[in-house]
Amino acid sequence: MDRSFYQFALSFRGGDKHDLNSVFAESMFRDHSFPKSERSFDALSRYIEEKADPEMPSALFDELYRQYEERFF
C-alpha cells in the first residue's frame, strides 16, 4: 500500500485531548501547508523542525514515523 505519512498519522485524530499522538494529528490536520503526499523521513523531519510547532514535537514525529515504517515499508 502506498500510503503517505500524513494519511497514516490522521488515524490518530479524534482521540483524547491528552493523547499526544492525537494532538499531533489534529495539529498536522489544521496545518494546510503540511506536505500531505510526502513519505520521506528527511523531508518530513525538516518540515517539522522548521515549523517548530509545540503540538508537533520532533521527538513524537520520530516515534510516529518509526511506527509508519514498521507498518508500510
For residue 46, the domain's CATH number is: 1.10.150.260
Domain of 20 in residue numbering reads as 5-72
Distance between CA atoms of residues 17 and 35, nearest Å: 24
Would you say the pTM of this structure is higher than 0.95?
no
Distance between CA atoms of residues 71 and 67, nearest Å: 6
Question: Which one, of 73, 2, 24, 48, lies nearest residue 11 by Cα?
Answer: 24
Distance between CA atoms of residues 1 and 42, nearest Å: 20
Residue found by looking up cell 513519505 in the block: 39
Per-residue pLDDT of 9-63, as tens digits, reads: 999 999 999 999 999 999 999 999 999 999 999 999 999 999 989 999 999 999 9
The tally of domains found in the chain comes to: 1
